[in-house]
Structure 1
Amino acid sequence: MRNWIYEKLPDGMALMVLRVSPKTSNQRAGWIILVQSSVES
């Protein structure tokens, strides 16, 4: 699932998501949603 998200986002964004991704999947999902929303905008 996260593979397609990283592929969709630019290298910098993917790195940001990976770096910011906390241990809790809940927060990580929130970050992914925020980034995905930004890209779609």
Structure 2
Amino acid sequence: MSTFGLIQLFIILIYFAIPALVLYFILKLAIKNAIKELKDENIL
């Protein structure tokens, strides 16, 4: 019974971790591009 709970917990972690990682990389790229554009326009 405990192994089933452990597997279920692992699946839930993966279920939440994948969208979080995708969101993290999208935000990272967006911020990187925004900073690059601001530097090109001599704002930063």
TM above 0.5: no
Q: TM-score range by the shorter chain?
A: 0.3 to 0.5
Larger of the two Rg values belongs to structure: 2
Q: Choose between structure 1 and 2: higher helix proportion.
A: 2
- Report which structure shows greater RCO (CA 8 Å, sep ≥6): 1
What is the TM-score when the length of structure 1 is the normalising length? Answer: 0.42
